[in-house]
Amino acid sequence: MDFTFTPEQDALREQAREFLGANPEPSWAQLAELGWTGVSIAEEEGGAGLTFVEEAVLFEELGRALYRGPYFSTVALTLPALPSDLRAEVAAGEASWTLALGPLVPDLDTAGRVATVGGDGIYELEGAEREVLTTTDETRPLGVVRGGDPGRRLADATVLAEIESRSLTALALEACGVARRALEFAIEYASTREQFGRKIGVYQAVSHPLADAYTGMELSRSLALWSAWCVASGDPQASIAAAAAKSFAAESAVSVCETSIQVLGGIGFTWEHELHRLYKRALGIESFGASGTRLRAEVAAALLNEGTEAVPATPSAPASVEQGG
Amino acid sequence: MDLRDTPEEVDFRAELRSWLEENIPAELRGHRGGAARFDGPEMRAWSRALYDAGYAGLTWPEEYGGGGAPYTHQAIFLEEMARAEAPTHIGVIGLGMAGPTIMAFGTEEHKARYLAPILSAAEIWCQGFSEPDAGSDLAGVRTSSRFEDGHFVVDGQKVWSSFAHLADWCILLTRSDPESTRHAGLTYLIVDMHAPGVEVRPLKQMTGEAEFNEIFFTGVRVPADNLLGGVGGGWQVAMTTLLHERGTLGFALQAALEMQVRKLIALARDRGADQLQRDRIAREWIEMQAVRFTNYRSLSALMRTGLPGPEGSISKLVWSEANQRITKLALELLGPDAALWDGNAPYGGYWQYQQLRSRGNTIEAGTSEVLRNIVAERVLGLPKSR
């Protein structure tokens, strides 16, 4: 068992943080130039031939930086459905995608092409009218598509399970990045702001909620990275891990942002401070795709329903649930 | 990153699992918990069996009778013990606290004398840190030790000491300099619990059992050699002990949590759960996985860098609150039967006992308030509150 990042993965994180710090609104071409659009795409298709674990590093950093663009919709939502030639276009930065899984479609303003689910497969949607809606979270616009015709058949519907695991995990990872940034703001503020003659971080009414925020963020990361590893290695637990990670990390990120807003007081409530943008992304992640309640219902079904296999306790060592109290 | 067991870990786990299957005495399996489980001779025999099979002190150096195994083996051991509902080795304090402290601060004579009997359960240890006026604020220790005729003479009172009623030895934090205050002037001694002047009185807790004790020391003579960290150097030694307490605790707690969630699921399957309860059960399973993988991250960092990751510091905090919620949820699932106790209750009163016992979880081994201070100050770097 080894649950650490490799030096290369650590270097990727550093590169991402530095780049996104200097370029808060990077173009798709810039991401392609960095190799980010083809991380898990095979080398013969022009990608880096790496895994979802490396993409996980990027999702966390992109969440932290509140990146606006079609990375999530291309890499998490659509990539598993794309055939080889279209993957090569993504790796080269020539194409970006989004997938209309539900009525509200992300990144319609920036994604080049749109895929849709119909019948037993996933198709490219051609000639559809796109309308981008106003959203609370301005960094991840949602929209609707109207009309259009199914074009090329991209994949069989069986790929939807992988799309669900990838996208839920990517959202969980983004949520971890959002929570980390919000917590950094709060720690910095609590360490410098003085009231009643002392730094406010000395007051346990301030420091203990921050300790809880840290706890929530680390637990979220553990679930999200577990899930990322399951996705990357095709582990059969990927689906339940993704449900666990998204439900927990999204709610936790919302809560971390709320704690941070409270710690910053009036400043945290202003439009000027970045916190409200982090908060809105966290809320957006929570509402996108499946809610925590629905995901937990799935987890409960896997644990409790008649005829279900008890969920393995560790990746390699399945254990059965025994009857009795 | 690879979360699977290595081939070598697969073998270790399989071997251990079949050994446990064959060797756990039926009367000890799945005990509801509590102090009384340690009192009979069968617990010493079980601990000795663990030792003979090479499972006691897995990560201790081989020269001290340990297994010299990597920390991952210890993690697997604790997971499998919990899965099999096996009782723990009786030497909880010796293995987790006294032993590691002696390895860090003891002389070669200390190591040769004390370590092997901890592993074999020939000798049991207890801890004498807390006092009536020194709980979370341990630096308020007042139990005195004065040096006289080649001995330390100890007078005072300790409290909340688990295993003291069974113990042969005590790791004792004393104030050797009566003029000193706070962290200075403290001295860490190894005290024979059978020495004249040592009196142990059980403290009955809300479960009705006496899991811990008061210890009274009246003119107890402790040989000069029974000293760790030098006269006046006790605070640093005590901090090492507590570091080990919290450090080695993580995996034991995770394993215990996993067992508790598994039992909760079995209970819900048995007695039924409504939609709201199902949601809460799913939450507990998810948080249990979160604790598990947080421990894995911390352990992996420890293996790679020699230092546990900062995220490891939250395990006890999260476990204690999770255990309180889980046991209360179990009572809810039991419905009116939750009011019954012990033999009259379903499952032998397991959940009623566990729920009451869980109230101690946020107090023992560092209160949740102290643990939040530690996270705030040492992990987040917030200004100190004291």
Which of A:247-286 have CB within 8 Å of B? Answer: 247-248
User: Does the distance separating the beta carbons of B384 and A191 come in below 8 Å?
Assistant: no
pLDDT score of A308: 67
Chain A closest-CA separation from residue B347 CA (Å): 6
Q: How far does B379 lie from chain A, in Å, by closest CA?
A: 9
What is the mean predicted confidence (pLDDT) over A59-88?
98
Count of C-beta atoms within a 10 Å radius of residue A137: 20
Task: Give the neighbor-by-neighbor strand order of the sheet with A113-118.
Answer: A97-100, A113-118, A121-126, A149-156
Q: Please give the structure tokens belonging to residue A147.
A: 């009309």
On the question of pLDDT at B186 being above 80, the answer is: yes
Q: Which of B273, B350, B383 sits opposite A199 (nearest CB)?
A: B383
pLDDT digits (tens, 9 = 90+) for A217-252: 999 999 999 999 999 999 999 999 999 999 999 999
Q: Higher pLDDT residue, B179 or B247?
A: B179
Q: Which long-range contacts (CB under 8 A, 24 or more apart) does A141-145 make?
A: A141/A68, A141/A106, A141/A107, A141/A108, A141/A109, A142/A104, A142/A105, A142/A106, A142/A108, A143/A104, A143/A105, A143/A108, A143/A109, A144/A103, A144/A104, A144/A105, A144/A108, A145/A100, A145/A105, A145/A108, A145/A114, A145/A116
Distance from CA of B140 to the nearest CA of A (A): 21
Band the pLDDT of B247: cuts 50, 70, 90.
Answer: low
Nearest CB to B317 within list A215, A229, A299: A215
Q: Which chain B residue lies closest to A242 (C-alpha atoms)?
A: B286
Which residue, A8, A5, A4, A69, is CA-closest to A37?
A69
d(CA B288, CA B264): 12
Tell if the CB–CB gap between B278 and A304 is shorter than 8 Å.
yes
Predicted pLDDT at A160: 97
| B83/A2 CB distance under 8 A | no
pLDDT at residue B346, as a whole number: 95
Higher pLDDT, B247 or B143: B143
pLDDT at B33: 58
Residue B349: how many CB atoms within 10 A of its CB?
Answer: 16
pLDDT reported for residue A119: 85
Element (H, E) at B156: strand B151-162
What is the distance between the alpha carbons of residues B327 and B324, in angstroms, rounded to a whole number? 6
Q: Is the pLDDT of residue A310 over 60?
A: no
Nearest to B87 by CA among B124, B40, B157, B146: B40
Q: B373 vs chain A: nearest CA distance in angstroms?
A: 7
Interface pTM, i.e. ipTM: 0.94
Query: How high is the pLDDT of residue A319?
Result: 33
What pLDDT does B245 receive?
66
* Residues whose CB falls within 8 Å of the CB of residue B52, separated by 6 or more in sequence, listed in order: none
Q: Is B19 on the interface with A (CB under 8 A)?
A: no
Q: Mean pLDDT, to the nearest integer, of B334-338?
A: 97
- Tens of pLDDT, residue by residue over A80-132, are 999 999 999 999 999 999 999 999 999 999 999 999 998 899 999 999 999 99
Tokens of A104: 């509200």
Q: How far apart are CA A321 and CA A310, in angstroms?
A: 6
Helix (H, G, I), strand (E, B) or coil at B221: strand
Which domains, from first to last, does chain B contain? 7-120 (1.10.540.10), 125-232 (2.40.110.10), 237-379 (1.20.140.10)
Burial B285-310 (b: 16+ CB within 10 A, else e): bbbbbbbbbbbbbbbbbbbeeeebbe
- Helices within chain A (DSSP H only): 7-22, 28-33, 52-64, 71, 84-91, 160-192, 204-232, 238-264, 275-287, 292-304
Tokens of B69: 């195994």
Give the burial string for B187-226 (b: 16+ CB within 10 Å, else e).
bbbbbbbeeeebebeeeebebebbbbbbbbbeebbbeeeb
What is the per-residue pLDDT across B262-290, written as a single tens digit (0 to 9) for each? 999 999 999 999 999 999 999 999 999 99
Residue A318 is predicted with a pLDDT of 33
Of residues B281, B346, B376, nearest to A207 (C-beta): B376
Interface of B with A in 42-101 (CB under 8 A): 72, 75, 79, 83
Task: For residue B153, give every residue at least 6 positions away whose Cβ sits within 8 Å of its Cβ, in sequence order, or none.
Answer: B145, B146, B147, B219, B220, B221, B222
The rounded distance, in Å, linking the Cα atoms of A117 and A157 is 8
Give the gap in angstroms from C-alpha A324 to the nearest C-alpha of chain B.
6
Residue B165 has pLDDT above 70, yes or no: yes
Q: Give the angle A125-A80-A254 at the CA atoms, nearest 5°.
A: 95
Residue pLDDT, tens place only, B21-56: 999 988 887 665 555 566 778 889 999 999 999 999
pLDDT of residue B382: 97
Contact in structure between A138 and A66 (CB atoms under 8 Å): no
pLDDT of residue B4: 92
Q: CB of A213 within 8 A of CB of A183?
A: yes
Instruction: Write down the mean pLDDT value for chain B.
Output: 92
What pLDDT is attached to residue A76? Answer: 98
User: DSSP letter string over B253-303?
Assistant: HHHHHHHHHHHHHHHHHHH---HHHHHHHHHHHHHHHHHHHHHHHHHHHHH
Which of B125, B161, B128 is closest to B145 using CA atoms? Answer: B128
Q: What is the mean pLDDT of residues A178-186?
A: 98
Least confident segment among A153-157, B13-17, B57-61, B333-337:
B57-61
Mean pLDDT of A284-311: 89
Query: How far does CA B15 lie from the centroid of its chain?
Result: 25
| Domain parsing of chain A, residue ranges | 161-304
pLDDT confidence bin for A321, thresholds 50/70/90: very low
Q: Do B311 and A324 touch (CB under 8 A)?
A: no
- Could you identify the residue written with the tokens 């509150």? B385
Q: Does residue A320 surpass a pLDDT of 50?
A: no
In this predicted structure, the answer to whether residue B81 has a pLDDT above a threshold of 70 is yes
Please list the alpha-helical segments (H only) found in chain B: 7-23, 41-52, 71-83, 92-93, 99-105, 108-120, 234-271, 275-305, 315-334, 350-358, 368-374
pLDDT at residue number B99 = 95
pLDDT band at B303 (very low <50, low <70, confident <90, very high): confident
Per cent of chain B over pLDDT 70 is 96
Asked if residues B1 and A222 have their Cβ atoms less than 8 Å apart, the reply is: no
| Cα-trace Rg, chain A | 20
Residues B206 and B355 sit within 8 Å (Cβ to Cβ): no
The answer to whether A162 touches A122, Cβ cutoff 8 Å, is: no
Geometric angle at alpha carbon B3, from B6 and B80, rounded to 5°: 70
Indicate the pLDDT class of residue B203, thresholds 50, 70 and 90.
Answer: very high
Query: Is A321 touching B (CB cutoff 8 A)?
Result: yes
Other beta carbons within 10 angstroms of residue B103's beta carbon come to: 18
Flag whether residue A219 sits within 8 Å of chain B, measured between CB atoms.
yes
Catalytic sites of B, residue numbers: 245
Give the span between the Cα atoms of B35 and B353, in whole angstroms: 12
CATH architecture of the region A161-304: Up-down Bundle (1.20)
What are phi and psi for residue A152, nearest 5 degrees? -60, 135
Contact A201 B311 (CB under 8 A): no
Q: In B, residues 130-159, which contact A (CB 8 Å cutoff)? A: none
Of the listed ranges A3-7, A209-213, A252-256, the one predicted with least confidence: A3-7
DSSP tag of A158: G
Number of C-beta neighbours around residue B91 at 10 A: 27
pLDDT at A288: 96
**The pLDDT of residue A317 is above 50:** no
pLDDT, residue B28, reads 80
* Cβ contact A211–B9 (<8 Å): no
Mean pLDDT of A165-170: 98
Nearest to A4 among B10, B301, B318 (CB): B301
- Say which residue the tokens 């979160």 belong to: B290
